[in-house]
């Protein structure tokens, strides 16, 4: 990775060491505890993966150890601005009380419509009684929501350790990352990632495109893709990107499913066939083939910096998970600095038991992509506007890094 001194996003960003004396202070911490829940018949819901809660513990413990009282706030699910029992924070609160019993947790922020609308009245309600604010929720820092952008205008504020580390790593990609720098981008909808694909194509030495979006690129390159997922409105954009002269690598063999057959986690019927980049009429491309996996893995193995976001196929179906699993293994084996972001990609490395061999696993999917596309996030900009934000000359970058 590049040195953090090259990171423009850390300049002027208040860190935990920039907060006033915390002894006796009340601190509001925006965390991202949007964790998966499971409810069995007749039993209360439970947290099935507490990774995001544990990831916030260094920041919460830092504040507690310095004498602060800590109140955390988070969203959970999409309750649409009103209380919804499906997204009650009871199970999350129970898990937090086990890991950090001194930390209070407010109710689901999105139960109030003022959260997503950034209502100043709701911001006032959140900050009332608090002396400082910490944003440790990178995964929502691309949202101009009340709990993200409101408090820094009212309280001394700082980025928590988790947010800081995300910025150190991902922001480093905007500076001078070690090269060759390769980005592997997958997922279903090319329209959702076209902006970041353009931005990355200007920064990387090689852009690898896989997943459902690759079929729109293959169609743009003149291939017949059968009944595969294609965004007809984006074919022209993909053709323009391919014609730009930027180095872009696409699949060369495809794992396809016969017409009319179903796919998904509980499906097994239908003939599966490996084809080239021209897919027979009616057949669907659902994963990349072994030649493509080998070619992509070779490029990843030769890279000094690797960013991976998005699955390479319908990986929840065992017949179409070889591509995603292959990229996970290649990233784990890579001697370069590896970064994995996005829920499905992160799930894949954990499912394969490879998470401890990835250099950095990002807690933000959409946030990480928006950061790379636009070069900043609303949550970071808000922190730089806090009253205690340091001047660029007043603090060396990284002087308050976690010890």
Catalytic annotation, residues: 52, 189, 343, 366
Contact assessment for residue 340 and residue 358, using Cβ atoms and an 8 Å cutoff: yes
Contact assessment for residue 22 and residue 130, using Cβ atoms and an 8 Å cutoff: no
Nearest one of 380, 360, 382 to 371, comparing CA atoms: 380
Find the DSSP H helices in 283-321. 290-301
Cis preceding-peptide flag for 240 (omega within 30 of 0): no
Side-chain-side CA neighbours of residue 235 (13 Å)? 14
- The two tokens of residue 206 are 């090689």
Q: What is the DSSP letter of 378?
A: H
Strand partners, 184: 208, 308
Sort strands 69-73 and 272-275 into parallel, antiparallel or unpaired.
Answer: unpaired
CA 205 to CA 373: how far, in whole Å?
16
- Give the torsion through C-alpha atoms of 268, 273, 276, 281, to 10 deg: -80
């Amino acid at each position: 990775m590049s040195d953090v001194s090259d990171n423009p996003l850390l300049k002027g960003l208040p860190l935990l060491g920039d907060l006033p004396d915390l002894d006796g202070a009340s601190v509001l911490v925006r965390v991202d505890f949007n964790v998966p829940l499971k409810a069995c018949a007749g039993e209360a819901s439970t947290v099935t993966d507490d990774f995001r809660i544990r990831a916030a513990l260094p920041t919460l413990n830092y504040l507690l150890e310095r004498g602060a009282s800590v109140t955390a706030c988070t969203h959970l699910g999409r309750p649409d601005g009103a209380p919804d029992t499906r997204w009650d924070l009871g199970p999350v609160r129970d898990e937090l009380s086990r890991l950090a019993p001194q930390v209070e947790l407010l109710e689901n922020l999105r139960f109030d419509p003022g959260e997503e609308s950034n209502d100043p009245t709701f911001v006032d309600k959140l900050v009332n009684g608090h002396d400082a604010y910490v944003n440790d929720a990178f995964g929502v820092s691309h949202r101009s929501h009340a709990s993200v952008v409101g408090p820094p205008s009212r309280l001394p504020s700082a980025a928590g350790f988790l947010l800081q580390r995300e910025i150190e790593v991902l922001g480093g990609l905007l500076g001078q990352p070690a090269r060759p720098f390769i980005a592997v981008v997958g997922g279903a909808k090319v329209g959702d990632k076209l902006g970041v694909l353009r931005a990355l194509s200007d920064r990387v030495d090689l852009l690898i495109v896989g997943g459902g979006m690759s079929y729109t690129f293959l169609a743009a390159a003149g291939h017949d893709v059968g009944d595969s997922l294609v965004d007809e409105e984006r074919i022209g954009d993909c053709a323009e990107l391919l014609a730009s002269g930027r180095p872009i690598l696409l699949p060369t063999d495809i794992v396809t499913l016969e017409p009319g057959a179903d796919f998904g986690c509980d499906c097994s019927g239908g003939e599966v066939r490996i084809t080239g980049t021209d897919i027979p009429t009616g057949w669907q491309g659902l994963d990349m083939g072994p030649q493509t996996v080998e070619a992509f893995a070779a490029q990843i193995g030769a890279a000094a910096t690797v960013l991976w976001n998005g699955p390479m196929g319908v990986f929840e179906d065992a017949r179409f998970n070889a591509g995603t699993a292959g990229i996970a293994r290649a990233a784990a084996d890579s001697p370069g600095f590896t970064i994995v972001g996005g829920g499905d990609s992160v799930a894949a490395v954990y499912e394969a038991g490879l998470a401890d061999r990835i250099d950095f696993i990002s807690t933000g999917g959409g946030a990480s992509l928006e950061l790379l596309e636009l070069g900043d996030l609303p949550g970071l900009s808000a922190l730089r506007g806090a009253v205690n934000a340091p001047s660029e000359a007043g603090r060396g970058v990284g002087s308050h890094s976690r010890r």
